[in-house]
Copies of this chain bind each other. A is one copy, B any other.
Amino acid sequence: MNPIQVGLLGIGTVGSGTFKVLQRNQQEILRRAGRGIEITMVADLDVERARSIVGEGVQVVNDARQVIANPAIDIVVELIGGYGIAKALVLEAIAAGKHVVTANKALLAVHGSEIFAAARAKGVTVAFEAAVAGGIPIIKALREGLTANRIEWIAGIINGTTNFILSEMRDKGLDFDVVLKEAQRLGYAEADPTFDIEGVDAAHKATLMSALAFGIPVQFDKAHVEGITKLSATDIRYAEQLGYRIKLLGITKRREGGIELRVHPTLIPAKRLIANVEGAMNAVVVQGDAVGTTLYYGKGAGSEPTASAVVADLVDITRLATADPDHRVPHLAFQPDALADTPILPIEQVQTAFYLRLRVADEAGVLSRITTILAENDISIDAVLQRESAEGEKQTDLIILTHETVEGRMRAALASMQALSSVLAPIVSLRKEELA
């Protein structure tokens, strides 16, 4: 059979990795797929650079629409990113009857429903293994490997930049701003790191996993998103003393009445495997009712790790290119007519345990006033750490770990505690998950 022909839209980091991997492992991939897979056309605004990567023999154009219009192209790989032109091009490629492979989590988390519906109507596939956790085959695990399970929850370190920053903050006791600069210098953070450090990138990925796990549409707008910019080295240190590490987690969880979907810094027990995932690595924990806890670990970004996922999608599509679309795995794991309208819960209804740090006056009765407020809000205490105040010091840090409670209650309690005259600074509150 003649090779399947692939057109690349955009040949930056991931695109050039995809080209290199397909070339280098051509034989290995052919032996697996049973059919050659060749990039025969590339569109990039920088035609010269593109040409220098792919050499002769591959058609290079500066207009993506020429790739889509080429009847010889079977699969279009979209690696442009963002919601704008990428969306138009993906929809046009689908309309032209091309299968699409994309690493664009932002696009799918926001416009996934529209895109998947268009693909279904046209009988083509939109594959996106590279959109979550880079080279880790987590989409495949969720869509195919764990189909027996009622998924209970997923918690993942799905943004390498922030995990690198948090690892450095902990290792070296440095503050966020200092480490961010270092990360930018080393290329672990972009010049404009907003999407990473504010948790938006992780929320895009968590949104996709939420849909795959629970059979609901992608709903990025319902996600609760907090980044790591306000995190202080002090809290990382206290967490450590209490046996916890702080990680930026994307979490989605099935609850009575709805589904939680949230990204925020989270205390997790230091002994958990995922607490020991350091640097720019990614890891996702999936809890299923039959399988129990499973974990998937690897590089979440980078040229060839992401290319590994793109090529895996190309092989999957190649295998099924001539098959009846009904035989394919549904885009969002569940059959399109079997999606549920289970709501995403507002953050006030989310249930977690909490870590609180209060700067309090070192005087009699403070602890009693605070614990009374927690009790009045039905929040029970798991542990208290009160630092011995130094000679002559008139204030001290009070650390409280609570049991699981509803966020709305905690917010009420926080307001009451903050109003106490013996609470001398804004209270720090962080969510805590046992992940067991």
Contacts and interface: CB of A to CB of B under 8 A. Distances in A.
A387 interface: no
A380 B349 CA distance: 61
Given A34-B326, A141-B140, A326-B34, A298 B290 contact: no
A145 B17 CA distance: 17
A427 interface: no
A31 B323 contact: no
Interface residues of A, number: 67
A369 interface: no
A374 to B, nearest CB: 35
Contacts of A250: none
Nearest to A25: B150
Interface stretch (A54-62, A304-312, A403-411): A304-312
A330 B32 CA distance: 8
A323 B276 CA distance: 43
A31 B289 contact: no
Given A276-B273, A319-B327, A323-B327, A28 B294 contact: no
Contacts of A316: 144
Chain B CB within 10 Å — which of A28, A290, A293, A302 has the most? A290
Contacts of A149: 21, 25, 28, 308
A212 to B, nearest CB: 10
Interface in A237-284: 273, 276-277
A145 B25 contact: no
A368 interface: no
A288 interface: yes
Nearest to A31: B338
A315 B33 contact: no
Interface in A123-165: 129, 134-137, 140-141, 144-150
Interface of A: 17, 21-22, 24-25, 28-34, 129, 134-137, 140-141, 144-150, 215, 273, 276-277, 288-299, 302, 304-305, 307-312, 315-316, 319-320, 322-324, 326-330, 333-335, 338
18 contacts: A22-B148, A24-B150, A31-B335, A32-B333, A134-B291, A137-B141, A137-B144, A137-B145, A149-B308, A273-B297, A276-B276, A290-B305, A293-B299, A294-B297, A295-B295, A295-B297, A295-B298, A320-B327
